[in-house]
Amino acid sequence: MEQDYKRVKVRLRMASGTIYVGRVYVEQRKRLTDVLNDERGFISMTEVEENENPRKIPFIAIQKTSVESVTIIPEP
């Protein structure tokens, strides 16, 4: 799986005001926008931090229609 996908760190702001920071797996030959615009209703995220919650969430599925904005966080 690691060879077929790249991990993209993103910040999602929800319509509710909740902010999630985590990683989204994107196929090697695709872009994050392809994941956001495909037919699936949810975005799968791993290693997720929610607002000021100090505990990392290993996995969360976010409903796409509830997302207000998405920002890619560059990693070194």
Per residue in 28-66, pLDDT tens?
999 999 999 999 999 999 999 998 787 999 999 999 999
What pLDDT was estimated at residue 2? Answer: 53
pLDDT at 70 over 80: yes
Host domain of residue 21: 5-72
pLDDT at 76 over 90: no
What pLDDT was estimated at residue 75? Answer: 87
How many structural domains comprise the chain? 1
* CATH number (domain holding residue 18): 2.30.30.100
Q: Which residues, other chains included, contact 18 with Cβ-Cβ below 8 Å and sequence gap of 6+?
A: 50, 51
pTM of the model: 0.88
Instruction: Show the tokens assigned to 46.
Output: 């791993």
